């Protein structure tokens, strides 16, 4: 894989995000021996980065869809391309899980498992995929409805912006009401609920529109430096707040940790992505090639890693064996994730161009958009 054909900054963000998730969930090997609570936040943050990155990378697609003329036909093309990108590998894992465990959960077939926690036990990471799939379904539909308003007709950028703002406002109100009323869990009751988390992707869409319309802004050196400082300080502050105010397994939602913390984390994620935009290419070498490979297989790795970790963690009986089995798990994961990408994910991605031969790739994000 030639790293020069891809956007290295996007690959780096995605590669570091999936590595952080793997490291965080790999703590399952050490729970009985080490206090892992202080390092739970980075993988939580990494999942939020994935949300923002998804929004950022599809923002251009949504805007170009509007430029060409919104219609039910163009929305259908968008859906088909999204589904061919995400659903085949997802369904492969669902079917494999049924075969291996004997558990059939109907909600996993319609992306409603977030409402039935017991049906996520055999595929726990799928909660984030349901949020993305519902976003892909609802965002273009909302755009289509807004396009019927007289003051938005023939203004595709404004349609996308207004849709994103709606997708940000409604979840915020929902979280505020949920935190102000009946007591709910911060993680299961807020973090993993579909209508309360659509904004996590919508913020990325807004950043994408800004960059698409004014591509030079994020490339300025002084702007990039400011973004880097904001990303680092914001991340450290969120990490401190998380460790001092939230236990992901028991904390109840309140206005501060649900209505306001999530937008703050989203803003920090956006600065991370915006900072990476400037690094479009790399000088080559083993590390960029490694990052590119990890980025390419990140979705497949995400789909299968926790099942592999949970299965092999049962063999652990000491700290030393925890490290050994964690190493074995990474090797198994590399093989399984690579195979899923090569034999399921990649072939279906190749079929997407048949749905929209006019599709183009933005020169500012060349390579990165092939993974949206």
Looking at residues 342-368, what average pLDDT do you find?
69
**CA separation for the pair 338, 129 (Å, rounded):** 19
Range of the domain at 294: 3-371
Total count of domains within the chain: 1
Is residue 55 within 8 Å of residue 202, measured between CB atoms?
Answer: yes
Tell me the pLDDT tens digit for each residue of 55-89: 999 999 999 998 888 999 999 999 999 999 999 99
Q: Is 339 exposed, middle or buried (0-12, 13-18, 19+ CB in 10 A)?
A: middle
Work out the mean pLDDT of the chain and round it to a whole number: 91
**CA separation for the pair 118, 107 (Å, rounded):** 10
Residue 372: pLDDT band by 50, 70, 90 thresholds? very low
Residues sharing a CB contact under 8 Å with residue 332, sequence separation 6 or more, in sequence order:
308, 312
Residue 357: pLDDT band by 50, 70, 90 thresholds? low
Please check the confidence at residue 361 and state whether its pLDDT lies above 60: no
Q: Is 269 exposed, middle or buried (0-12, 13-18, 19+ CB in 10 A)?
A: buried
Tell me the pLDDT tens digit for each residue of 293-333: 999 999 999 999 999 999 999 999 999 999 999 999 999 99
Residue 368's pLDDT is 45
Angle among Cα 260, 261, 262 to the nearest 5 degrees reads 95
Please check the confidence at residue 101 and state whether its pLDDT lies above 80: yes
* DSSP 8-state assignment for residue 281: -
Please say whether the dihedral angle defined by the alpha carbons of residues 165, 167, 170 and 175, taken in this order, is positive or negative: negative
Is residue 255 within 8 Å of residue 179, measured between CB atoms?
Answer: yes
Tell me the pLDDT tens digit for each residue of 5-47: 689 999 999 999 999 999 999 999 999 999 988 999 999 999 9
């998730």: which residue's tokens? Answer: 21
């Amino acid at each position: 894989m030639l790293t020069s054909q891809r956007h290295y900054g996007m690959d780096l963000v995605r590669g570091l995000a999936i590595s952080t998730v793997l490291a965080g969930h790999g703590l399952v090997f050490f729970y009985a021996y080490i206090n892992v609570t202080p390092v739970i936040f980075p993988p939580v943050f990494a999942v939020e980065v994935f949300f923002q990155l998804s929004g950022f990378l599809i923002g251009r697609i949504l805007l170009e869809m509007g430029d060409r003329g919104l219609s039910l036909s163009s929305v259908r093309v968008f859906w088909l391309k999204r589904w061919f990108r995400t659903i085949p590998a997802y369904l492969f894992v669902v079917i494999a899980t049924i075969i291996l465990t004997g558990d059939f959960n109907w909600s996993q077939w319609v992306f409603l498992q977030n409402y039935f926690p017991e049906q996520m036990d055999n595929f726990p990471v799928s909660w984030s995929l349901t949020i993305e799939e519902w976003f892909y379904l609802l965002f273009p539909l909302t755009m289509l409805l807004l396009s019927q308003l007289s003051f938005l007709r023939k203004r595709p950028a404004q349609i996308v912006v207004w849709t994103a703002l709606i997708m940000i406002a409604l979840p915020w109100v929902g979280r505020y009401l949920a935190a102000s009323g009946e007591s709910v869990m911060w993680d299961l009751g807020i973090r993993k609920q579909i209508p309360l988390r659509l904004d996590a992707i919508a913020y990325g869409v807004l950043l994408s529109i800004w960059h698409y319309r004014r591509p030079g802004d994020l490339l300025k050196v002084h702007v990039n430096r400011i973004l880097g400082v904001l990303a680092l300080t914001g991340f450290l502050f969120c990490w401190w707040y998380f460790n001092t105010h939230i236990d992901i397994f028991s904390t109840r939602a309140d206005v501060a940790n649900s209505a306001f913390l999530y937008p703050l984390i989203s803003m920090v994620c956006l600065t991370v992505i915006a900072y990476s935009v400037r690094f479009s290419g790399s000088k080559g070498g083993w590390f960029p090639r490694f990052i590119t490979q990890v980025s390419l297989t990140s979705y497949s790795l995400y789909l299968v890693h926790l099942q592999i970790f949970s299965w092999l963690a049962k063999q652990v009986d000491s700290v030393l064996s925890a490290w050994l089995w964690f190493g074995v798990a990474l090797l198994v994961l590399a093989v399984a994730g690579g195979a899923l990408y090569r034999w399921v994910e990649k072939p279906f991605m190749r079929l997407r161009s048949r749905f929209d031969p006019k599709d183009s790739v933005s020169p500012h994000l060349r390579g990165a958009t092939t993974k949206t």
